[in-house]
């Protein structure tokens, strides 16, 4: 679900899921929205292997992993701050040949895979969405998290995890402009809608 989301109310909070099965390939995508300049989006640990996505600064998103031949890190630097309380999309991919990271529509950063190492990502811990192990976690909202084609149910997990809020507010700050001709953006638990009552138009975006 495009709007399946969870609000992370403080940086020490995290949701956990079963271990990410991404031994030879990983394809991860999600949207985030935050006001803070740094925080871990998700990570999964092994004995020495790991995979991690984080906001390293207001403009830098990092994708790092280790498949047994030392840590590899890819960073995308955005031209303007990403902690602007707007939705931003992150896509990270890794296979035996290369790894890539893309933020919004910025050019993707691609790195060839090192030739040594066992090439298989061997993970044992649970998958943490938010930070594991006392690092600076994530404060804000994550939605539409897909890993290897499967959407993780952030909402359901947030409902059963204390201190969490399922869903997100503030969709209108990012998408309110889609309501045309003076239509009013109305916040909804799953996204938003446009109220066209005081316009001469109708339709989803008051444009018909």
Residue 6 pairs in a beta bridge with 142, 166
Burial class, 91, CB count within 10 angstroms (exposed 0-12 / middle 13-18 / buried 19+)? middle
Count Cβ neighbours within 10 Å for each residue of 162-171 and write b for 16 or more, e otherwise: eebbbbbebb
Rounded Cα–Cα distance for residues 54 and 36 (Å)? 12
**Which residue's structure tokens are 């909202």?**
141
pLDDT of residue 53: 96
> Does residue 50 or residue 174 have the better pLDDT?
50
Question: What string of DSSP letters covers 61-100?
Answer: EEEEEESSS--EEEEEE-SS-S-SSS-EEEEEEE-SSEEE
On whether the pTM is more than 0.85, the answer is no
Model confidence over 19-50: pLDDT tens digits? 888 778 889 999 999 988 999 999 988 888 88
pLDDT top residue among 27 and 188? 27
Could you tell me the two tokens for 110?
Answer: 């691609």
**Can you tell me the mean pLDDT for 85-91?**
94
What is the Cα–Cα distance from 24 to 138, expressed in whole angstroms? 27
- Domains of the chain are 5-166 (2.60.120.200), 169-208 (2.10.25.10)
């Amino acid at each position: 679900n495009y709007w399946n989301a969870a609000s992370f109310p403080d940086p020490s909070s995290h949701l956990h899921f079963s271990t990410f099965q991404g031994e030879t390939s990983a394809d991860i995508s999600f949207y985030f929205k935050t006001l803070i300049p740094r925080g871990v989006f998700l990570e999964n640990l092994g004995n020495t292997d790991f995979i991690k996505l984080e906001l390293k600064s207001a403009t830098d998103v990092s994708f790092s992993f280790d498949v047994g031949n030392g840590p590899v890190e890819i960073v995308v630097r955005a031209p303007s701050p990403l902690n602007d309380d707007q939705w931003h999309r992150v896509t990270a991919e890794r296979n035996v040949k290369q790894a890539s990271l893309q933020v919004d529509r910025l050019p993707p950063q691609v790195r060839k895979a090192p030739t040594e190492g066992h090439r298989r990502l061997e993970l044992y811990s649970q998958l943490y969405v938010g930070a594991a192990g006392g690092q600076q976690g994530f404060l804000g909202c994550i939605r539409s998290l897909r890993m290897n084609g499967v959407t993780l149910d952030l909402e359901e997990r947030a409902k059963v995890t204390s201190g969490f809020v399922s869903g997100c507010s503030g969709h209108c700050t990012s998408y309110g402009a889609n309501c045309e001709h003076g239509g009013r953006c109305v916040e909804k638990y799953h996204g938003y809608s446009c109220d066209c009552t005081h316009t001469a138009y109708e339709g989803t975006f008051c444009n018909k």
